[in-house]
Structure 1
Amino acid sequence: MIQVFIKELNSFLDSLIAYIVIAVFLTGIGLLMWVFPETSVLEYGYADMETLFRLGPYVFMFLIPAITMRMFAEEKKSGTIELLLTKPLSDWQIILGKYFSGVSLVIFSIVPTLIYYWSVYQLGNPIGNIDTAGVMGSYIGLLLLGGVFTSIGIFASAISTNQIVSFIVAVFLCFITYSGFESIASINDWGVFSAFLEQLGIIYHYNSLSKGLIDTRDVIYFLSVIILMLLLTKLILSSRKW
């Protein structure tokens, strides 16, 4: 697994993909938090980071599939997947190596935003007038969300040899799992099942973590979705033996 992890991480860092993704994420969130008047903390007048945690998932919805779309699709198209599968590595080692390399880039993207937290902390009146527990809970939620989107992106990459198709499928699945269930639950026809449908979506558990209360049920939900998507990826890879 370590070999695959290092190989994937080096391939990202040796190309412009990783730097472009991180730069786009930080620039986009920075503009939304500090420049655009509709979402700027300076215009809003409150010491919080709601802009980052409310809009960050939608930015990730496009950037993470852009990272993961090549992981299996490119290997399939170029034929190197056969060489990789003949090495003394299990399917799980290959999948987890690629998965953790993608998660590492997500972490690299999020860590610099701690500067935003420090800035808001210093700008508070009095200094430090910010809900630190809520911010830390939101950061945990954002990291878990990045993990889920990465697992979805890897699954989408495994089902196609075309990177564009993988990207589109990943974006669609990320959107559905994040806010699609909430939209479906808002339809009045569901009755008592609407609450159940809402809890199937990521946004319900993500918002719960954003309150600063780390509920194990929310963490288990995120981990369950990650495991499910990785299991589906394993199923796709194993289909070559059928």
Structure 2
Amino acid sequence: MLEVLKKEFGSFFNSLAGYIVLVIFFIITGLFSWVFPQSSILSNGFANLNPLFDLAPYLFMFLVPALTMKAFSEEVKTGTIELLLTKPLTDWSIVLGKYFASLTLIIIALLPTLVYYYTVYQIGSPIGNIDQGATIGSYFGLLLLGTVFSAIGILASSITDNQIVSYITALFLCFIIYDGFSLISSINIWSTYSYQISKWGIDHHYSALSKGIIDSRNILYFISMTLIMLFASKITLSSRKW
């Protein structure tokens, strides 16, 4: 697994893809958090990072598929997938290696935003007047969100040899799983089932974590969704041997 992880992680920075994703994420979160008056932390009068945590899931929705779209698609298109499958590696080692490479890059993308936290901490009145529980919960939620979106991206890449199709498929699935269930639950015909339907979506669990509510049910949801997507990727990869 480590061999695949190193190879995939290195490929991110051997091309512009990894750098572009990191720069775009940092610039857009910076603009919305500090520059644009409608969402600026400096304008809302509260020492919190809500603009960052509200925007980041949608940025992940667009940027994570861009990281994962070539994970398997490029291997299949160039024919190197056969070479990879002949190596003494299990299917799980290949899937997890590619998965953890993209997840590592997501973590790297989040690290610079700690500068935002330090800044808000310092400008609070008094210094340190920031909801620590909600902030920690939100970062934890973003990390878990990244685990699911990365797994979705790996799955989308494993089912096609076209990177554009992989990107669009991953983007669609990320949107449906994040916001789709909330939108469906808002339809009046569901009546008393609305809340239960909304619980199937990531937004419900991410919002709970963003309030500082570290509930085992929310964590279990993210872990379950990640495992389902990775298991589906493993099955897809195994089917190429048949």
Q: CA deviation at 1:192?
A: 2.2
Partner of 2:215: 215
In 1, Cα distance between equivalents of 2:213 and 2:106 = 23
Quick one: distance in 2 between partners of 1:116 and 1:4?
A: 33
* Aligned equivalent of 2:102: 102
Aligned to 1:155: 155
Distance 1:117 1:237 in 2: 41
CA distance in 1, matches of 2:58, 2:81: 31
Per-residue CA distance 1:44-88 (angstroms, 9 max, x = gap): 111010011101000110000000000000000000000000000
Cα distance in 1, alignment partners of residues 189 and 19 from structure 2: 46
State how far apart, in whole Å, the 1-side matches of 2:59 and 2:71 are: 20
Cα root mean square deviation, aligned: 0.7
Deviates more, 1:229-238 or 1:102-111: 229-238
Q: Where does the alignment leave 5 or more consecutive residues of structure 2 unmatched?
A: none
Distance 1:137 1:222 in 2: 14
Q: How much has 1:194 moved relative to structure 2?
A: 1.2
| CA shift digits 1:80-120 (9 cap, x unpaired) | 00000000001000000000000000000001100000000
Shift of 1:188: 1.0
- Where do 1:127-146 residues align within 5 Å? 127-146=127-146
Mapping for residues 9-158 of structure 1, pairs under 5 Å: 9-158=9-158
Task: Give distance in 1, aligned partners of 2:168 and 2:205.
Answer: 25
Aligned mates of 2:70, 2:224 — CA distance in 1: 24
Cα distance in 2 for residues equivalent to 1:216 and 1:137:
12
Aligned partners of 1:113, 1:41: CA distance in 2, in Å?
13
Q: Partner of 2:212: helix, strand, or coil?
A: coil
Q: Distance in 1 between matches of 2:210 and 2:3?
A: 35
Distance 2:117 2:143 in 1: 16
CA apart distance, 1:240: 2.1
- Cα offset, 1:241, TM superposition: 3.5
The alpha-carbon deviation at position 221 of structure 1 amounts to 0.3
Deviations 1:24-52, CA, capped at 9 Å, x for gaps: 00000000000001110111111010011
Alignment length (residue pairs): 242
Counterpart CA distance in 2 for 1:131 and 1:90 is: 45
Residues of 1 paired with 2:107 and 2:154: CA distance?
17
CA drift of 1:16 comes to: 1.4
**Moved beyond 4 Å, runs of 4+:** none
What is the TM-score when the length of structure 2 is the normalising length?
Answer: 0.99
Residue 200 of structure 1 aligns to a residue whose secondary structure is: coil
1:181 alignment partner in structure 2: 181
